[in-house]
Structure 1
Amino acid sequence: MAEVGTAVDDIDACVASWLANFESSLNGREASQTAVLFAENAAWRDILAFTGNLRTLHGRGSIEDALKVSVEREDRFAFRISETVSVEHNERTGRPALEVVFRFDTAIGHGDGVVRLIQDESGELRAWTLLTALSELRHDLTRKPNARPSEQAYEGADRRNWLDYREIEASYADRDPDVLIVGAGQCGLALAARLQQAGVDALVVDKHERVGDNWRKRYHMLRLHNEKGSNHLPYMPFPENWPTYIPKDKLGDWLECYAQSMELNVWTGTSCDAGSFDPETRRWGVTVSRGGRRRTLRPKHLVLAVGVSGAAKWPAIPGLEEFSGPIVHSSDYTNGARFRGERVLVVGSGVSGHDIAQDLYWHGASVAMLQRSKTIVASLRPGAEKVYAHYRSTAPLDELDLLNISVPYPVKRERARRLTEEISQLDSELIEGLNRVGFRTHTGSDGTGFQMQFLRAGGGYYIDVGCSQLIAERKIDVINAHSTAGFDAEGLVFNDGSRQPFDALVLATGYQPVSDTVSDLLGSAVADAIGPVWGLDDEGELRNICRPTAQDGLWLIAGGLAEARIFSRFLALQLTAEVSGIRLAGRR
């Protein structure tokens, strides 16, 4: 292998040489020769291209072991440097490296990748991080897109117009879908849109009366706390004149518009009552109720796009059932108008707890927050904005997404730690003000802040949009749960026997795990077999999200809008391959 020079031509030649060696050793099934192209502490994230899964391999030894198992005799690969993205020397991941975006071809499709090359002690060029991601399947191997009537067909003898054909298509009167998606939020719709583009027949069902109600029916003042640029859905970006932080009703209306514009088949007002998988026919039987009628659908694949949470979680606090005033869970909270002039205790200090406490204060309530555990807090500006700065670039969104997912877990964790330290310095006055009044903060179990907390637990943090200042100024009181013994009919009881009366309680205490939803719909045996959903596995990948589960034909997708856009692509690829009879590399 060549050493890296300084001239552009020399750099390009060295990069091309590394890719050529990588291609040659892979095609020659020389696992040890491939592994030696990596640094000892390298990390290779593969999404469907080699392992048939979402995996991150840590260290040269693990990479060699995986290659011995994954790369088969018939697999052939061809790599080439991207023609649209220049090789760049940067420190995006915390250390100097040559960042190379490339394309590659496999027997079944095409992929995109990013490699970051560093020089070892001898001056040899080796991979420090590598991403390989399958991005599309060969069109000649997949089923053709569903035939849509031509303009001339609309003028035929049957006099059916576009709306007539859409109603027939969405009725499923004479067929079952290939894929049944439960949940018409951002994840379910993004997946349905990608499947439609691939020609896979997908039906989305949702319990709400309108698409977007999962956002509209949340508390009145809710808006996104991350920037518009990171939140576009596939094929239809938000208009440029939209606000940076999108209000929940505006987002709900957009989801409804998205489903209509993308011509997705969606049944609203539809509940899923029960489901079971038939191993002989390899189809599901899912009973749904819609408009007073029940029907059993028999799709090949079932996707739960119901988020990472299940039913509302009511905390096990002594005496809670004795409280005589109204108790409202955050899932049922709309606004604070009904609590004007009342003493209200908000139980919980995550995003919902803060937003609701702030809304109650604005509506004239006397508000206290019961903090049960330390909370990660970061300012929206200038703190959390730094996390989303990547998406302020003018580069194409697909390129930004590729660079985003190219950072493997160990590097992402260290980058999050450095960024959290920077945000903590910027927010020092904010944090000191909170700590002064008894609000307990931290930066995560390993100092990686709200970014990693979201991936690990889905909650336990707050991006400040004004409530922290109210707390620091004692306009919203803070009560440490460790000082309390529970509730009685009048309010909160403290360990010393004293009491603080409240007129109402709002429980911002989160939700049951989505595995409970799996159990309710498909049975405890299925839920136990697939195990926990969300959170990170030993390799740093999300558990059971957009990847095969232990139950044949069962898939899950969850996350915010960015996760919906990025990972719906990979779940759609897997479902398209399954429906088309294509075996992904690395799958047996």
Structure 2
Amino acid sequence: MCNAIVIGGGQSGLAAAHALRTQGLRPVVLEAGAEPVGSWPHYYDSLTLFSPARFSAFPDVPFPGDPDHYPHRDEVVDYLRRYARTLDADIRTHHRVSTVTADNGAYTVHTEHGEALQTNILIAATGGFSQPHWPELPGLNKFAGTILHASDYRNPEPFAGQRVLVVGAGNSAVQIAVELAEHAHTTITSRTPLRYASPTLLGRDLHWWTATTRLDVLPLGPWLRTVPTTPVSDKGAYKAAIEAGNPDHRPLFEHLNTTEVTWSDGTREHIDAVILATGYRPDLTYLQPLGALDSTGSPRHRRGLSRTCPGLGYVGLEWQTSFSSATLRGVHRDAHYVVKQLVKAVRTHKHCCIPTPV
């Protein structure tokens, strides 16, 4: 019997493991990939964080380099590797979880290799970005050109000289579209207008303000998740490029066919590729046997604590508690809250097998 199991070894799983260690537990962390770095190695080459290094580090392990620089994707990967080595946790890579069952107050976690591990405390930390979201768009299934999600986009070279649509209105959509526009005829198209927010206010990074005012930790998730789009973090360069038409922005197209797009004004033109920067959804299908998910596959929870399954918690969900819940700068706060509540509940249960720290 494991005293705690964490499913997922990316930033959310590592944050959960750290929180469990502070409670005197030594969790087993099950990571499907080859190393505990989550999805970061698979993001596009030019990706940089939208928060400075000083606000993107986990407790006790600062980000290397200038604390005010914005870390690149590869810096984040290296940081997570280093952070994982600081944890006294049993991290098992190449361990993909297929399903979880429950019996008599204990969870059994089944892996694709046929292992079965039991625990009283289970944390699903595969995060809110494990499943690329492919929206239903008119004619997309008929389009014969290249279609890929932003999760599969790496750099603009394969699209040089092509006519490309980028669908979306968030940070990734704008960053990818502006990058592509230097190599391809690019349009960013979305249902909602593009909104911009400066990363600084009165000479201070916006994250300094949210940390200082503690806005970052307010439990506003249930309300903020109804906001249509998150503003694009922009010092002015992205907005200027789009207003100059490089790339241009248009309302979402009316229809696609095999080779063409039809715009709202009725004009049609040839299209070579469509890139969907349309976000992600959590993939928690392994919890389906527990009745922990609603009809859409979303977890039934309050601030990361399951509403239906005692001993089950979540870390890394978008808007789980606040707008920083699914980020490097905020995930550890949610992890410590969830772990503290789970451990307290299990230790007060008469069948508790969780050791109490001396």
Is TM more than 0.5 here? yes
Q: Measure the CA separation in 2 of the matches of 1:221 and 1:297.
A: 39
Which one-letter code corresponds to 2:230 in the other structure?
G
**Deviation of the 1:522 alpha carbon:** 2.4
Report 1:67-106 matches (<5 A): none
Q: Measure the CA separation in 1 of the matches of 2:228 and 2:98.
A: 27
Which one-letter code corresponds to 2:76 in the other structure?
L
Change (3 A) 1:546 1:458: farther
Which of 291, 309, 323 lines up with 1:551 in the alignment?
A: 309
Query: Given the alignment of the two structures, is residue 577 of structure 1 paired with residue 348 of structure 2, yes or no?
Result: no
Query: Given the alignment of the two structures, is residue 204 of structure 1 paired with residue 14 of structure 2, yes or no?
Result: no
**Deviation of the 1:184 alpha carbon:** 1.6
Which one-letter code corresponds to 1:288 in the other structure?
T
Q: Measure the CA separation in 2 of the matches of 1:218 and 1:463.
A: 18
Change (3 A) 1:186 1:250: same
Q: Measure the CA separation in 1 of the matches of 2:206 and 2:160.
A: 37
**Deviation of the 1:257 alpha carbon:** 0.8
> 1:489 — aligned with what?
258
Give CA deviations for 1:461-509 in whole Å, capped at 9, x if unaligned: 311253222101111011112xx32101112113454212111110111
Query: Given the alignment of the two structures, is residue 510 of structure 1 paired with residue 279 of structure 2, yes or no?
Result: yes
Which one-letter code corresponds to 1:550 in the other structure?
T
Give structure 1 stretches of 5+ with no counterpart: 1-175, 393-399, 413-450, 535-542, 584-588
Which of 40, 47, 52 lines up with 1:222 in the alignment?
A: 47
Contact 1:491 1:499 in 2 (8 A): yes
> 2:321 — aligned with what?
none
Secondary structure class of the residue paired with 1:562: coil
Give CA deviations for 1:136-181 in whole Å, capped at 9, x if unaligned: xxxxxxxxxxxxxxxxxxxxxxxxxxxxxxxxxxxxxxxx322111
Contact 2:312 2:342 in 1 (8 A): no
Change (3 A) 1:578 1:384: farther
Q: Which has the higher contact order (CA 8 A, sep 6+)?
A: 2
Give CA deviations for 1:314-360 in whole Å, capped at 9, x if unaligned: 22122112211110101111111111111111011111111111221
Q: Measure the CA separation in 2 of the matches of 1:582 and 1:384.
A: 51
Change (3 A) 1:349 1:389: same
> 1:252 — aligned with what?
77
> 1:295 — aligned with what?
115
Q: Measure the CA separation in 2 of the matches of 1:500 and 1:544.
A: 47
Contact 1:190 1:234 in 2 (8 A): no
Q: Measure the CA separation in 2 of the matches of 1:453 and 1:501.
A: 41
Give CA deviations for 1:221-278 in whole Å, capped at 9, x if unaligned: 1111012222221222223535521111111111111111223321122211011111
Report 1:379-528 matches (<5 A): 379-382=198-201, 385-390=204-209, 404=214, 456=226, 460-464=230-234, 466-481=237-252, 484-512=253-281, 514=282, 517-523=283-289, 525-528=291-294
Which one-letter code corresponds to 1:471 in the other structure?
I
Which of 256, 260, 265 lines up with 2:90 in the alignment?
A: 265
Change (3 A) 1:453 1:470: farther
Secondary structure class of the residue paired with 2:178: helix
> 2:329 — aligned with what?
562
The two structures have a TM-score, normalised by structure 2, of 0.84
Task: Identify the range of structure 1 (351-360 vs 226-235) with the bigger mean alpha-carbon deviation.
Answer: 226-235
Q: Measure the CA separation in 2 of the matches of 1:510 and 1:554.
A: 26
> 2:322 — aligned with what?
none
Contact 1:518 1:526 in 2 (8 A): no
Contact 1:214 1:252 in 2 (8 A): no
Which one-letter code corresponds to 2:81 in the other structure?
E
> 1:140 — aligned with what?
none
Give structure 2 stretches of 5+ with no counterpart: 317-325, 351-358
Which one-letter code corresponds to 2:161 in the other structure?
G
Radius of gyration: which is bigger? 1
The two structures have a TM-score, normalised by structure 1, of 0.53
> 2:319 — aligned with what?
none
- How many residue pairs match? The answer is 340
Change (3 A) 1:521 1:406: closer
Q: Measure the CA separation in 1 of the matches of 2:2 and 2:226.
A: 33
Q: Measure the CA separation in 1 of the matches of 2:138 and 2:24.
A: 54
Query: Given the alignment of the two structures, is residue 188 of structure 1 paired with residue 13 of structure 2, yes or no?
Result: yes
Which one-letter code corresponds to 2:250 in the other structure?
I
Change (3 A) 1:197 1:367: same
Give CA deviations for 1:393-444 in whole Å, capped at 9, x if unaligned: xxxxxxx6xx6269766xx8xxxxxxxxxxxxxxxxxxxxxxxxxxxxxxxx
Change (3 A) 1:579 1:375: same
> 1:285 — aligned with what?
108
Secondary structure class of the residue paired with 1:269: coil
Change (3 A) 1:199 1:316: same
Contact 2:178 2:246 in 1 (8 A): no
